[in-house]
Amino acid sequence: MKENENLEAARENTGVDDQIKELAALIKDSNKTIVLTGAGMDTESNIPDFRSKDGWWRKMDPRAVASIDTFYQNYDLFWEFYKMRYNLLQECAPHRGHYILAEWEEKGLIHGIATQNISRLHALAGSKKVYELHGNIRTFRCNHCHRDASVEEYLEKKNCQYCGKKALRPKVTLFGESLPADAWDNSIREVQSSDLLMVIGTSLEVYPVNAIPKMAGGKTAFINNEDRGRDYHFDVRIKGKAKEVLSKLDGILNEME
């Protein structure tokens, strides 16, 4: 019995390694590679995702805390939720996978990252071209007069220093709001003109970002640790953890240099 199980595991494992080698070749051959990341890119930096078993939305209804309606109807709850998420971030740092993507940009292996994540871990790892499709939780503004506010003013629950309203919020895209136009336009332009789109760590559940993979101009690859996006065509599907798969890819690409 044991021998069969090992054989099965070995066969499955070989499959993943073959797919990783296939993706490495696509990266090497591509003149323009764009990466699209979701919360699965940040879980190995101890930031929970949303829809896997320990995700945020397993514990609470997103529209109850992360929507523009909640901002207006229950500011205290809204404020508390984002204060807690901001404070959680202070313990978190980019992992090896974020640094690898930043190194690949430096080497000209990738040409931009469109992310759904609000952590800014890609930028902190050194990535320069990052399109924040859902904004970020490290900068703040007044929802009424739109002027910037400091994180201290937000955490101290101050009123806006310009218009006096109690309306400070992080510059994230809330449920019920449209995405930042520049991040969206840049992402679509880059994805449509890419030779390769790598999608990493997303359930592909949330519109309109989940429409992006179908706009890809060239080949597509999906790296995720659970089966998702069964109705999508990906040229390469790799079931695995972002940090581990990116590290293996990096090793193969270094050998190809």
201 binds ligand APR (CB under 6 A): yes
Q: Which is nearer to ligand APR, 142 or 209 (CB)?
A: 209
Q: Which stretch binds ligand APR (CB under 6 A): 8-16, 19-27, 38-46, 137-145?
A: 38-46
Nearest to 175 by CA among 202, 208, 142: 208
Residue 236, strand partner residues: 221
Catalytic residue list contains 146? no
For residue 35, give Cα distances in angstroms to 52, 158, 177: 21, 38, 24
Amino acid 16 reads V
How far is residue 84 CA from its own chain's centroid? 19
Nearest to 35 by CA among 223, 249, 251: 223
Catalytic residue among 95, 122, 134, 146: 134
Size of the site for ligand APR (CB under 6 A): 24
Q: Which stretch binds ligand APR (CB under 6 A): 71-79, 105-113, 124-132, 201-209?
A: 201-209
Q: What distance in Å separates the CA atoms of residue 102 and residue 13, rounded to the nearest whole number? A: 27
49 binds ligand APR (CB under 6 A): yes
Q: Token pair of 22, please?
A: 């296939």
Helix, strand or coil, per DSSP, at residue 23: helix
Residue 208 preceded by cis peptide, ω within 30 = yes
Q: How far apart are the first and last CA of the chain?
A: 42
Out of 44, 105, 132, 190, the residue judged to bind ligand APR by CB under 6 A: 44
198 binds ligand APR (CB under 6 A): no
Nearest to 111 by CA among 193, 25, 223: 193
Q: x/- binding map, residues 97-136, to ligand APR, per CB under 6 A?
A: -------------------x-----------------x--
Q: For the CB of residue 93, give the shortest distance to ligand APR in the complex, in Å.
A: 15
β-strand pairing of 113-115 with 219-224: unpaired
Q: For the CB of residue 241, give the shortest distance to ligand APR in the complex, in Å.
A: 4
Q: Token pair of 148, please?
A: 């910037």
Q: For the CB of residue 52, give the shortest distance to ligand APR in the complex, in Å.
A: 4
51 binds ligand APR (CB under 6 A): yes
248 binds ligand APR (CB under 6 A): no
Active site residues: 134
> Which residues would be at the binding site for ligand APR (CB under 6 A)?
38-40, 43-44, 49-52, 55, 62, 116, 134, 201-203, 205-206, 224-226, 228, 241-242
